[in-house]
Structure 1
Amino acid sequence: MTKRRFLGQLGAALVAGFSLGGAATASAQAPFPNKPVRIILPYAAGGGGDQFTRLFAQALSDVWQQSVVVDNRPGAGATIGTNMVAKAPPDGYTLLMISSTIAVTPSAYSKLPYDTFTDLAPIGLFARSPFILAVNPGVPASTMEELLRYAKENPGKLNVGHAGNGTMAHLTYELLKARAGLQATAVAYKGSNPALVDALSGQVDMIIDTPAAIGQHVRTGKLRPLAATTAKRATAMPDLPTIAESGIADFDVSVWFGLMAPGGTPPALVQKIHADAQKAFTASGIAARLGTLGMEPLVSSPAEFQELLRKDAAKWAQVVKSANIKFD
C-alpha cells in the first residue's frame, strides 16, 4: 500500500469516526423521551394496581407526548416482571410500577435474579391502599370475630385466595394467621383477578384484596367484607371496621405503589422522570380520582421511597422468618 493511499484511508476513517461520535452525541442530547416508554407491571390485568397504572401511563403519555405502554408480566411473587426491569438498559425507556410486594421478596426468596436495592432505582411513590378481608356469602360470618370463631370450631375447612406466593396479600394473611390465629389453607393464584373469580364462585372462602378489586362485588352482595387491614378505616369503605378494631391490636398493613427504573439510571434522568411523573399525577387529576379506586395519594421523593423500601423490607423479613416462609 502506498503512503498516500494509507493516509487517505486513515483520513476517511477519522472523518467517519468523528461523524459517528457526533451522531452519538446528538442522540445522547435528544430530549427524553424521544420514543415510546414501557411500564412493566408484574401483576395480572384487572386489579387495582392495573387500573391505577393505566391511568398513570396515560397521564405520563400526555406530559411526554409519547406513547407509554403498560406491559403486564405477572408471576413468581412479582419477581418475573421486576427482573425484566432490573436487567433492562438504564435509559428510562423501561420502567417498573411495583407494589410493596418488592419489600417482601428479599427475605422470602433465598435467591433472586436481581438485587432489590442496587439493581433498581426508586423514582417515587404515588398511591397506597388498604387490603380488605372479604368472604364468599356462603361463609357463616359477618364480622372478624365470627370468622375467627368459625375457623377455630372448623379446623381445616376454610381456605383463602391471594394474588400469589410472596405478594403482599399473602404476607398479610400470614401476619393475620400469626397475630390472630386464623387457620385457613392459603391458595396462591397468578394475580388477584383469578383469585377473585374463585372467591365469587365459592371455590375459595376468603380473599384478601384491595377495595378497587372487590368494591363492585361488595356493593352487589357477591362478597361480604369483614375488615380493613389499615390502622384507620378505609376511605372507600368508611363503615367497615379495621382488623385492629376487631380485637387484633396494632394490626396495620397497606399496599403502596411506586415507580422504579433499572439500577444505574443516571440520577439526573431519575429526577426528570420523577418531576414529570409528579406533574402528570397532579395535572391529570389522578390524585382526585384515587378514591374511586379505593386508594389514597402518597407522593414521595426517590430518597423517601428508598427509605420506606428498606424499612418495610426489615419489617416483613421478621414475618417471613417467624412463619418460616420460603417461596423458591
Structure 2
Amino acid sequence: MRTLRLLSAVALAVALMAPPAARAEFPERPITVVIPLGAGGSHDLHARGITPILSEILGQPVVVSLVPGGAGMKGTTQVAKANPDGYTIIFTHNAFDQLTPQTRKVEFDPKTAFKSIARINANEPMLAARAGVPYKTLAEMIDYAKKNPGKVNIGHTGVWGVGFVPTMQLIKAAGIKVNIIPHQGGGPAMRAVLAGEDDMTFGFATQYRPHYKAGKLVPLGIAGDKPLKDDPDFKDVKTMTQLGFPGVDFTMDRIFMAPAGVPADRLEKLRKAFDELNKKPAYHAFLKNIGEKIDYMSGAEYDAYRTKRMQQFADLIKEVGSK
C-alpha cells in the first residue's frame, strides 16, 4: 500500500511539473483567424470554404474575425501582438505582410513578427469596370481618361495593397490622370464600383464572377503575363503584357501565419493541418467551384520565400513611390 501511495505521489508530481502544452492536446478550444480586410473580398470568400474543413481536421471550431483598417495594419498588428499560443492566426496576403510595413511605422518587425503556416494559392489581380462606363476595353478606357483628365475614379484595396500597386503602375505607364480612391479591402472596393461611386478596380475572379455573370462588370485586363486560361468566364481576358503594359505586374500570395514565438509543436500541428487541407477533395472542389487555382506552398518553404520577396518589394516601393 505504501508503495502504491508513493508511486501515485510521484506520478502526481511529474504531472504538475509538466508544461500545460504536455497536459492538453492542442488545440483544445476554438482558433481565431484574423483577416485584415473587409467583408466580401476574396479572402473572406476563401475563408468561408476553408474554415469548415480546417475545423474537421483540427477538431475545434475555426472562427473568422474581420479586422480591416490602417491599410491592413490594424488586423496585422493585432495578430503580431497576440499571445503566441497558436489560437490566434492571420489570413493575409503578401502586400500587407511584406510590402506595407516597409512604407510606414508599424508596431512590429515584419521580418521577425510571424511564422508562415502555409500559402494556399497565388493570383494576379484583374482590372474590371462597372457596366455603363463609356468604354469596353483597356485601350478605350485610356483614351477616355486622356480626353477627360480627372473624370475616371479607380478604387483600390488600400495604400500599398494588392490593388494599389498595379493601379499606380498602370497610371504611370498609360500617362493618364485619374482619381485614386482607397478602400478597406477588395469587398468595399467592389461595392463602390457596383454602386457607381467608382468606375473600376483591381480585384479577383472569385469576387467578380457573380457580378460579371449578372452583366454588371466589364473585365479590362489581368496584371502580369498569366492569362486565366482555365477559367470558364475569364479565359479570354488579355493580360497587361498582351495589352502592351508589361510593367503592370503584381502577384498576390494568400497566406496563413502565426505570431512568432508560437511553440514549435503547435506551429507544426497547424502546418500539418494545412498540408492535410491541401489534400482534401472537398477543398479542391471548393476552389474549383469559385474558380481558383491551387498553388500551395508549405509554411517552411514560404518562410524562406518571403525573405526574398521583402527585398523585391523594397525595390518595388522605390519604383512605385516615384510615380
Provide TM-score, normalisation by structure 1: 0.87
User: In the alignment, does 2:21 pair up with 1:28?
Assistant: yes
73, 76, 84: which one pairs with 2:78?
84
Extract unaligned runs of 5+ from structure 2: 1-10
Cross-structure match for 2:100: 105
Cross-structure match for 1:214: 208
User: In the alignment, does 2:236 pair up with 1:239?
Assistant: yes
Cross-structure match for 2:312: 315
CA shift digits 1:154-194 (9 cap, x unpaired):
21111101122221111221122233334321101122222
Distance 2:88 2:265 in 1: 16
- The amino acid across from 2:148 in the alignment is N
- The amino acid across from 1:25 in the alignment is A
Cross-structure match for 1:11: none
- The amino acid across from 2:255 in the alignment is G
3-state DSSP of counterpart to 1:248:
coil
Does the 8 Å CA contact 2:166/2:248 hold for their aligned counterparts? no
3-state DSSP of counterpart to 2:321:
coil
Cross-structure match for 1:10: none
Extract unaligned runs of 5+ from structure 1: 1-17
3-state DSSP of counterpart to 1:98:
strand
User: In the alignment, does 2:272 pair up with 1:275?
Assistant: yes
Cross-structure match for 2:134: 140
Distance 2:219 2:13 in 1: 63
62, 70, 85: which one pairs with 1:68?
62
Structure 1 residues 53 and 251: CA distance shift in structure 2, 3 A: same
Does the 8 Å CA contact 1:217/1:223 hold for their aligned counterparts? yes
After TM superposition, give the deviation of residue 22 of structure 1 in Å: 3.4
Does the 8 Å CA contact 1:160/1:185 hold for their aligned counterparts? yes
Cross-structure match for 2:87: 93
CA shift digits 1:40-69 (9 cap, x unpaired):
111112111111122211111001111110
Structure 1 residues 49 and 187: CA distance shift in structure 2, 3 A: same
Structure 1 residues 160 and 251: CA distance shift in structure 2, 3 A: closer
After TM superposition, give the deviation of residue 93 of structure 1 in Å: 0.7
> Matches of residues 246-285 of structure 1 in structure 2 within 5 Å?
246-249=243-246, 251-285=248-282
Q: Which shifted more, 133-142 or 88-97?
A: 133-142
Cross-structure match for 1:196: 190
CA shift digits 1:75-101 (9 cap, x unpaired):
112111111111111111111111122
Distance 2:101 2:63 in 1: 28
Cross-structure match for 1:4: none
After TM superposition, give the deviation of residue 107 of structure 1 in Å: 2.3
Percent identical residues: 30
CA shift digits 1:214-253 (9 cap, x unpaired):
2111111111111111421124310111111101125432
- The amino acid across from 1:238 in the alignment is K
Q: Which shifted more, 317-326 or 98-107?
A: 317-326
Structure 1 residues 238 and 26: CA distance shift in structure 2, 3 A: same
- The amino acid across from 1:303 in the alignment is A
After TM superposition, give the deviation of residue 261 of structure 1 in Å: 0.4
Aligned residues: CA RMSD: 2.3
After TM superposition, give the deviation of residue 133 of structure 1 in Å: 0.4
Number of residues paired by the alignment? 309
After TM superposition, give the deviation of residue 146 of structure 1 in Å: 1.6
Structure 1 residues 61 and 20: CA distance shift in structure 2, 3 A: farther
User: In the alignment, does 2:220 pair up with 1:226?
Assistant: yes
3-state DSSP of counterpart to 1:186:
strand
Does the 8 Å CA contact 1:122/1:261 hold for their aligned counterparts? yes
